[in-house]
Amino acid sequence: MYRFQGLSDFEYQLTLRTDLYTNKHTQWYYFQVTNTQAGRPYRFTIVNFTKPTSLYNHGMRPLLYSEAEAKIHKVGWQRTGDAIRYYRNNLSQDGHQYFSLTWTFQFPHDRDTCYFAHCYPYTYSNLQDYLSAIARDPKRSKFCKIRILCQSLARNIVYVLTITNPLQDFQEEKHKAAVILTARVHPGETNSSWMMKGFLDYILGDSDTARLLRDTFVFKVVPMLNPDGVIVGNYRCSLAGRDLNRTYRSDLKESFPPVWCTRTMIKRVMEERSVLLYCDLHGHSRKENVFMYGCEKREQQEEGTSLHQRIFPFLMSKNCPDKFSFPDCNFKIQKGKEGTGRVVMWKMGISNSYTLEVTFCGSKLGDNGSHFNTKDLESIGYHFCDSLLDFCGEKKNKFNECLKELEDMMKQEDPVAAINDSFDKDSR
């Protein structure tokens, strides 16, 4: 938070700090309110958003955490707020128009300490606590090795996890394909960390599916690519003042160590074994549902011959029908996205290279309601594992069913392609 101005006893105007060493990227907020008065309507207005549209005009509400509610009723983060509006205001800077988010709220307790946030927080300390618990667990630590990938510009550790059930036969071990997952290259997209937590909870669990996946694959996981940005409260950039998900082609190791070391690690993995799939986890600020971005050559799209890259997202839509929307997926490589992890890994030779996007709001599918909670976000990680098994399983029943359905779909023109293209300025 850059500025907190009281307009009256119960009305406050807030100005967000831009990402450090930039003059933009105001989306994420997380602030504290103390000495509250119960039953009085407060108004909060954030005045320097830069995106012209927002999910706040489509039912999204701010998150609230009340220390008193947590202590008395064991209630955690909850969506709240009334009279919510997101609108163009009369402020601008350097030719950039600003937009406001405003809402009202009545605090339930006197002299409470409360917090408002854009999305469920997930901090670097949360990750370190999670990894420490794995390292202390004599069972999980046998098949999950936690190593240092590199240090960030601020000397924070970027971790890499190797997850697999060791095999006695070294030659058989070498034939395991790799699956690579990364998250939190954009620090304000905390929902991606909750998806990652769900994936790790599942793949490190005792279920038959988890054991089979560990027997079949070597998982390389970088759960937090941009710890510096997370720690200082940035929304999109690193301490270099750059969006790290536009720097995967860069050779500047000193400027972008997490990305450079991730790309180098993946190249080394590709020399040792085949890589079945790469997926980078993100949050999306303008679209609802869960969906994926993939990569296809233009001639494949024109000829209608590109099905392979669409099968895994289609499986996700079957396994997660109340959250994942296949029509929201897009497989075009947009101009300006050549430096993203998804595109660079695809050009390196990983044909199944994706960005998995989850909305900051919720799903328009089924009876899911307007907002995802942390359990919803974690469940997407579970479904990722189920889809992976369907994608590579021996029987291939679901795979073949989806392939046939995709073939029928490809014969028809996609009516949502133009709509999806209009949102892809937000794609990863």
Catalytic residue among 11, 357, 405, 413: 357
Coil vs helix vs strand at 243:
coil
CA pair distance 194, 381, nearest whole angstrom: 8
Could you confirm whether 254 is annotated as catalytic?
no
Structure tokens at 297: 């050559």
CA pair distance 27, 360, nearest whole angstrom: 11
**One-character DSSP codes across 247-272:** -TT---TTT-HHHHHHHHHHHHHHHH
290-293 sheet: strands from edge to edge = 144-151, 157-163, 217-222, 177-183, 275-284, 353-359, 290-293
- C-beta of residue 341 within 8 angstroms of C-beta of residue 182: yes
CA pair distance 143, 189, nearest whole angstrom: 28
Helices (H) and strands (E) in the chain, counts: 14, 16
- C-beta of residue 396 within 8 angstroms of C-beta of residue 215: no
CA pair distance 276, 345, nearest whole angstrom: 12
Just list the catalytic residues: 357
